């Protein structure tokens, strides 16, 4: 038989690696903080197209004077990469009046006449509306997590559904936090793209865990009481490892390709989805293989269910077999006499 890698033995190292990444992410979050998009915190975003090279700091000075408030400025382009955009964001509860908007347009045209600036879009969101939208998005994510837990618990009820669901959910939380830390590290504001990443990871990352659980269920039927739960799970993870690895690798490479195109084109709206998603896919492969199932085995070993019962059944079967063998030998001895 092919030599198997001991994933169960590796779980402590995997936990240390996951813990170090979590700690690093928390430190980055404390240092950099969390940015919210105006769709979540409220504010106004105005985009201008331009040609040539534009001074980002000068745009910020012009916008702050015209809007009478602190603004943030970033440069991007549309999906085709042909139109350059300068985006001005004003956070807060104040809505920008039509007169103020016209004054900003006039000042931009005057100060950047050589760049041929032209307003492309403007979007204002009330702070109360933004907060409500953020709460609704979080509720959608939490609801998705609940449904995922119920589904896994019901599907694998014969494997100890509640514990199986709990550790698959733990793996999902790990993946979502990793994706969140990417937003923090690269200074992407949390927007509806983040919610899309979370909900996509719910389906994608969970698939790898379910593949392993399915194989565990098949192997439990195949081996019965002959092997302990740790051995059954280790065999199952080894059997599904190549599939999980190749699936994750193909998805990751596809996302990296899109990420490179978005970065070259300066399409931030796409980059803020594909980059966290790519990292989340890698985290999902790691958590499915090294965290969910091995930690689930640890829990079952600690609770004594069902390995204790397995050992009892094996002991009874061995005793019954020994008794039959002894009776057979005694019968054969009696015949010889």
pLDDT digits (tens, 9 = 90+) for 157-189: 777 778 888 888 888 889 999 999 999 998 888
Residue 79 clears pLDDT 80, i.e. is over it: no
Percent of the chain with pLDDT over 70: 87
Residue 89 clears pLDDT 60, i.e. is over it: yes
53 plus 157 within the same structural domain: no
152 plus 288 within the same structural domain: yes
Q: What is the pLDDT of residue 25?
A: 92
Least confident span in 24-28, 100-104, 179-183, 288-292:
100-104
136 plus 219 within the same structural domain: yes
Domain that holds residue 51: 43-125
Reduced 3-state DSSP string for the chain: CCCCCCCCCCHHHHHHHHHHHHHHHHHHHHHHCCCECHHHHCEEEEEEEECCCCCHHHHHHHHHHHHCCCEEEEEEECCCCCCEEEEEEEECCCCCCHHHHHHHHHHHHHHCHHHCCEEEEEEEECHHHHHHHHHHHHHHHHHHHHHHHHHHHHHCHHHCHHHHHHHHHHHHHHHHHHHHHHHHHCCCCECHHHHHHHHHHHHHHHHHHHHHHHHHHHHHHHHCCCCCHHHHHHHHHHHHHHHHHHHHHHHHHHHHHHHHHHHHHCCHHHHHHHHHHHHHHHHHHHHHHHHHHHHHHHHHHHHCCCHHHHHHHHHHHHHHHHHHHHHHHHHHHHHHC
146 plus 238 within the same structural domain: yes
Instruction: Report yes or no on 155 lying in a domain.
Output: yes
């Amino acid at each position: 038989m092919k030599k198997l890698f001991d994933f169960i033995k590796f779980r402590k190292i995997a936990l240390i690696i996951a813990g170090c990444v979590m700690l690093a992410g928390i430190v980055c979050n404390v240092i950099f903080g969390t940015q919210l998009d105006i769709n979540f915190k409220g504010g106004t975003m105005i985009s201008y197209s331009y040609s040539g090279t534009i001074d980002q700091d000068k745009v910020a000075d012009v916008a702050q004077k015209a809007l009478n408030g602190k603004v943030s400025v970033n440069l991007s382009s549309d999906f085709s990469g042909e139109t350059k955009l300068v985006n001005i964001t004003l956070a807060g509860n104040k809505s920008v009046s039509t007169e103020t908007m016209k004054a900003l347009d006039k000042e931009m045209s005057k100060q950047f006449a050589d760049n041929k600036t032209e307003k492309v879009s403007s979007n204002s969101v009330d702070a109360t509306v933004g907060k409500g939208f953020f709460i609704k998005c979080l509720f959608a994510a939490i609801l998705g997590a609940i449904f995922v837990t119920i589904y896994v618990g019901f599907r694998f009820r014969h494997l100890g559904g509640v514990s199986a669901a709990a550790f698959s959910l733990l793996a999902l939380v790990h993946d979502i936090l990793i994706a969140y830390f990417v937003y923090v590290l690269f200074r992407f504001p949390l927007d509806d793209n983040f919610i899309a990443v979370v909900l996509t990871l719910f389906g994608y990352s969970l698939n790898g865990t379910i593949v392993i659980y399915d194989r565990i269920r098949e192997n439990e039927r195949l081996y019965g009481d002959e092997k302990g739960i740790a051995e059954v799970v280790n065999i199952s993870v080894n059997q599904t490892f190549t599939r999980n690895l190749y699936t994750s690798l193909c998805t990751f490479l596809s996302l990296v390709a899109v990420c490179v195109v978005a970065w070259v084109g300066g399409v931030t709206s796409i980059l803020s989805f594909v980059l966290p998603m790519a990292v989340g896919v890698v985290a999902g492969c790691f958590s499915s293989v090294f965290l969910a199932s091995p930690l689930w085995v640890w829990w079952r070993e600690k609770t004594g269910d069902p390995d204790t019962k397995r050992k009892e059944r094996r002991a009874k079967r061995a005793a019954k077999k020994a008794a039959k063998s002894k009776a057979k030998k005694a019968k054969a001895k009696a015949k010889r006499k």
